[in-house]
Structure 1
Amino acid sequence: MSSAPPLGTELRRPVGQLLRAWRERRRLSQLDLAIAADISARHLSFVETGRARPSREMVLRLAERLDVPLRERNDLLLAAGYAPVYARTALNSPRLAPIRAAVRRVLAAHEPFPAVAVDRLWRLVETNAGIALLTGGVAPHLLAAPANALRLTLHPEGLAPRIANLGEWRAHLLGRLRRQLDLTEDPELAELYEELRAYPCDQPEPEAELPGPGDVAVPLRLRHPEGELTFVSTVSTFGTALDITVAELSIESFFPADDRTAAFLRG
């Protein structure tokens, strides 16, 4: 994994260098990207080396083919001398009231099972009533706003002591964060990743996610006075988002992985 540049560095680099970095990050040749973007490899080479200035439409087309996140597409536009096109609206803005309402409806509909909504840095945006099962016993300072879902899960004063398969679940979460970091090279995510990696863990962490007996997904096995509870999770995003804030929201929903856990939660 390449190291993330210091915050703000991206805006000082020419757009051609940024596009080349994104292409290399996606492991595409100039020819591969040129074919995908329906341009000549020669023109793409000129853009990357600074011999040709791409149009606004060309920047956006290449960013789309490279699957560049909306936040970073604005950086590309600025580097090319154009105004950003993707808004970053505050979540409490009246414009995003329908989005907040949709998130709350999804979370409420998932009860009594736990579910959370987080932003790009895994900060808790909304939770449902079922999440109290996971946050019980967590140190108050980890729940203070802006609470971070990964920090309160893996911190030794958080949920970690109650996770029966901590090594497996920790490896799963760090793997997700590492893939997110590979996608964005966000320096704040890199800082969070290094912090989480430094937390102690008294269980072996698998280098590859291999299924245990009967497993079809990585489970969360939670110690509870009533017996071990087992969950699997799904992640949902807004597939048509055109606003950075909305594009970076995700909802993680936890489902009971066995009948006993389901019966306990419903009871």
Structure 2
Amino acid sequence: MKNKIALVTGATSGIGKACAITLAKLGYNIIATGRRSERLTDLGSELPKSIDYLPLVFDVREREKVLEILGSLPENWKEIDVLINNAGNAHGMDPIQKGSLDDWDAMMDINVKGLLYVSKAIIPGMTERNSGTIINIGSIAGKEVYPNGNVYCGSKHAVDAITKGMRIDLNPYGIKVMAIHPGLVETEFSLVRFKGDEKRSESVYQGFEPLHAQDIADIVEFSVTRPPHVVIADVVVFPTAQATSTIVKKD
């Protein structure tokens, strides 16, 4: 019996990388996508030798490249069982009146349109087979709005709405659709948001223990190992110190 296949976007670091490794340990063959080829190569060295690995280098916001690459997968990689839409970023944290149009474009293009492009390439195969699992990695920013979060929160609210719409549209095909909405997870997220300001990025996670990427991967593992009649439709997960987007107990 051949291994099932999981596709993980944004797999070069953080949650995506942890999900790829976790699913590989479950016996899935892994398709990992990302913009940094050397990191995808490094990821391959961390995966079990018992599984097959296909690294794909592209930016999810580049529609034609996404559709071309995912539309021309080798025959033995076409039947994707699990799609983890993880690729996403936050850019800047300015009030709406001072926001950067480039930052806004980046967040909407990656977080929303990128998720849609990848999904568009993969879902038809799932509907044809009447089988599949889609897990969209959202954020607490998709459930709440906080100061200076404006467009980022908007993009993650869109992920939440798209996930719900997917679940309705794909219900006749027996496809499981879920979203995981983490609170504070210590990854490269804040470093990107604060545009490389390491001191400011590190301060976000000081004084409490944040979630780790593996915590999210553990939820993915639990979700994909449920019996066929069970879908973990929607999960919000915080570190114990966090109560809302803005309330965090720090030492």
Give the TM-score taking structure 1 as reference length.
0.26
Larger Rg: 1
